[in-house]
Structure 1
Amino acid sequence: MKMYKSIPIVLFSIILIAGCVSNKKYAELQTTYAQLRERNQELSNKYQDSQRELTGANSRVKSLEEQITSEKANVVALQDALNKCLSSSNQGNVNISKLVDEINSSNKYIKQLINAKNKSDSLNMVLTNNLTRSLSREELGDVDVQVLKGVVYISLSDNMLYKSGSYEISDKAGETLSKIAKIIKDYEGYDVLIEGNTDNIPIAQTNIRNNWDLSALRASSVVQTLQNKYAVDPKRLTAGGRGEYNPIADNSTPAGKAKNRRTQIIITPKLDQFMELIGKAPEQAPKQ
């Protein structure tokens, strides 16, 4: 990001080179540029798909919580109906046995929902604790691990992860990524989104158009490192870039810019078991 001071030199060099390169070299540059644009479009599409999946996952978790609340209210209503049955001779036509079965069924279903949610929360906490314990004190200065709404966020600083002003993975990032890769492989039921973020200073490199490109390329570098060097299943991985448009701090200060230049590894539990439970929800009791 600090290369903006060399923009005039770069532009002057491009003008000189443009006058000297051969038609063949120009064609090669055009081909490379087209490939980069195509790759960036692929990354953007993958990122958008992952965002939709993540939004859907959060929506399903919210739906579970709402359904738990609804089922608890249903149990109260059923219990009230049963009490009225027992205390009033005018309710002789009500099938008490059926009401008892419905109450028991609803209680069982609530326990299933709560147990499934607690299991997911527990796995997230174990994952977080295992990762945190594996990191050294120095690494913890560049890595932030949080659990928000059932999703694990691992935020990595660009100073540790990449070579200066580049999307190439630095040598010192290898040990940290290997620890994260081990955690990812240990928890096979989780999907992984790698999300690149930048500050608001325009990138000054001829082969990278803007911060969208830089963030997507950085995310792609992490994905390929996890796949090729640490054998993480690529089917579980998605790379995406958010450029400068997802800041967590004020870009008007150096400290704020440093926080915004980050790459997040977002580990999301698959919610198939929750959706299966929702499909098995007991029928509502008939109104009295």
Structure 2
Amino acid sequence: MKKTILGLLGMAVLLSSCVSQKKFADLEAKHKEAQDLLNSATLKLNTCLDEKTAAESRAQTLADQNKYLKENNQVLMNNMGNLTELTAKGAANLEKSLESIQEKDLTIRKLNDAITRRDSVNLALVQSLKGVLGNLDDEDIEISVEKGVVFVSISDKLLFRSGSYNLTARAKEVLGKVAKVVNNKPDFEFMVEGHTDDVPYRKAPLQDNWDLSVKRATSVVRTLQNDYGVDPKRMTAAGRSSYVPVSATEKSKNRRTRIVVLPKIDQFYDMIEKGMKDPKIN
């Protein structure tokens, strides 16, 4: 009987032991499964945390960029406002500059027109002189225009004997032709200049070349006044002695009488005023 009971007890313990081991194995398997799930969840959590950190970093970068863009946009808006104001001022200044240029251009054209008219008058005077003096030797009479002034140079061999200030008969022929032109131009004034060479001169009552050059000039203006009726108020007599030579080698060219047609400043401005009234200019 005892053996039977002991056997039953042994079987019960053995059965109990077998059940516990199976249960343990199941628990252990579940534990491993739970551990694997935990590890997987931890890995995913860490990944999510990393992604969150990266997203937060990108969000901060975007926020900083958005702030910068807003500030830059405000700066651009301010600059655009300033640029608009500057553009308006620039347009106004440009308009004023264009007006000033147009005014200057108009003035220049008026001056050019006046100068052209003056040059035309001088050219007409030159042609008149050449016309009446055409039968005289070109080497003895030279007519030119320099800087708007007409010059008529007459060799002294046509007017005076050597060392004399008394006009020759030939001189009166020449001066008669000059008087014909200047009398036809009553608005012009002119100066008669006497020129000598540099050979020293002294013959009573004259002291030197200065005296001789002046006396020759006064002889010409007296003849133009007394013999040909040229208004004396239009004439000036001047002596230049030997100090304005035209040749360093040929002294005969320096001995001359020069008639200088003097431009009147008021006449020149009168030409400008008339030009300003000309509809072709305005």
State the TM-score, normalizing by the size of structure 2: 0.60
Count, aligned residues? 189
SS in 2 for 1:189: coil
Corresponding residue of 2:38: none
In the TM superposition, what whole-angstrom CA distance separates every residue of 1:43-83 from its partner, at most 9, and x where no partner exists? xxxxxxxxxxxxxxxxxxxxxxxxxxxxxxxxxxxxxxxxx
Structure 2 residue identity aligned to 1:214: L
1:271 to 259, 265, 268: 265
- Structure 2, unaligned runs of 5 or more: 1-83, 274-282
Comparing 199-208 with 170-179, which one deviates more in the overlay? 199-208
SS in 2 for 1:168: coil
Structure 2 residue identity aligned to 1:249: S
| CA spacing shift, 1:235–1:91, aligned 2, 3 Å | farther
How far did residue 220 of structure 1 move?
0.6
> Bigger relative contact order, structure 1 or 2, given CA contacts below 8 A and separation 6+?
1
How far did residue 226 of structure 1 move?
1.0
Corresponding residue of 1:162: 160
Corresponding residue of 2:150: 152
Corresponding residue of 2:173: 175
| CA spacing shift, 1:277–1:225, aligned 2, 3 Å | closer
Q: Does 1:257 align with 2:255?
A: no
Judge conservation of contact 2:191–2:260 (CA < 8 Å) in 1.
Answer: yes
User: Percent sequence identity over matched residues?
Assistant: 40
The 2-side partners of 1:257 and 1:152 are apart by 23
The 1-side partners of 2:100 and 2:267 are apart by 23
State the TM-score, normalizing by the size of structure 1: 0.59
- Aligned pairs for 1:1-288 (under 5 A) are 90-93=86-89, 94=92, 101-250=99-248, 256-275=250-269
Structure 2 residue identity aligned to 1:260: N
The 1-side partners of 2:252 and 2:119 are apart by 31
The 2-side partners of 1:132 and 1:100 are apart by 46
How far did residue 91 of structure 1 move?
2.9
| CA spacing shift, 1:244–1:97, aligned 2, 3 Å | closer
In the TM superposition, what whole-angstrom CA distance separates every residue of 1:142-179 from its partner, at most 9, and x where no partner exists? 21111111111111111111134210111111121111
Structure 1 residue identity aligned to 2:87: Q
How far did residue 275 of structure 1 move?
4.9
The 2-side partners of 1:163 and 1:170 are apart by 7
| CA spacing shift, 1:100–1:239, aligned 2, 3 Å | same
Judge conservation of contact 1:128–1:145 (CA < 8 Å) in 2.
Answer: yes
Judge conservation of contact 1:139–1:176 (CA < 8 Å) in 2.
Answer: no
SS in 1 for 2:169: coil
Structure 1 residue identity aligned to 2:86: N
How far did residue 187 of structure 1 move?
2.1
SS in 1 for 2:197: coil
The 2-side partners of 1:190 and 1:228 are apart by 19
Comparing 215-224 with 136-145, which one deviates more in the overlay? 136-145
Judge conservation of contact 1:113–1:274 (CA < 8 Å) in 2.
Answer: no
In the TM superposition, what whole-angstrom CA distance separates every residue of 1:112-143 from its partner, at most 9, and x where no partner exists? 11111111111111111121122243343321
Judge conservation of contact 1:161–1:169 (CA < 8 Å) in 2.
Answer: yes
The 2-side partners of 1:138 and 1:106 are apart by 47
